[in-house]
Amino acid sequence: MTTTAHGASAAPHITRVPAPEGVAPSPQYSHVVWGSGRFVAVSGQCAFDERGAVVGAGDAAAQARQVFENLRRCLAAAGAGFDDVVKLMYFVTDMAHLPALRAARDEVMAPDRLPASSAVQVAALVRPELLVEVEAFAVVPEREPDRA
């Protein structure tokens, strides 16, 4: 990883600019992220286990950990990982759940590779016991063509 003059961190195919000139920095996200490669969109993930049962009803931290595990599995299905994520979109039923999401995110993402992100408080999610949902956008390096 390299660092540019504006403090941006760059993986081989992704560039992150934590704070462009004149924009206040945030320790929670990068203001600008771009990459080259295949675009991957992951639908909003909630705290469902592989059978569709809610994990951690009423517990934002347990739900956040399950959400990031589901994101990991979805990203892997596209040949991606958390280093490839360029944007996270958080939906919470109460902004008080945001620290739990950040803690779960910090378990899987390096602080110098944070994606752009947005957080929105919503009246409800698809099931009443769900507290958080996260969707992700990633950019994966183009694969080399198979040579037969």
Residue 117 resides in a domain: yes
Tens-digit pLDDT profile for residues 19-67: 999 999 998 999 999 999 999 999 999 999 999 999 999 999 999 999 9
pTM, entire model: 0.86
Tens-digit pLDDT profile for residues 86-135: 999 999 999 999 999 999 999 999 999 999 999 999 999 999 999 999 99
Residue 2 resides in a domain: no
Number of domains forming the structure of the chain:
1
Residue 148 resides in a domain: no
pLDDT of 9 over the 60 cut = no
Residue 81 resides in a domain: yes
Q: Any idea what the CATH number is for the domain that residue 62 is in? A: 3.30.1330.40
Tokens 């408080």 map to which residue?
121
User: In whole angstroms, what is the distance from residue 58 CA to residue 130 CA?
Assistant: 7
> Which residues, listed in sequence order, are joined to residue 134 by a DSSP beta bridge?
45, 90
Backbone angles phi, psi at 124, to 5 degrees: -165, 160
Residue 96 resides in a domain: yes
User: In whole angstroms, what is the distance from residue 41 CA to residue 43 CA?
Assistant: 6
Q: Which domain holds residue 136?
A: 36-140
The sign one gets for the Cα dihedral 54, 59, 62, 66 is: positive
Structure-block tokens of residue 50 = 């592989």
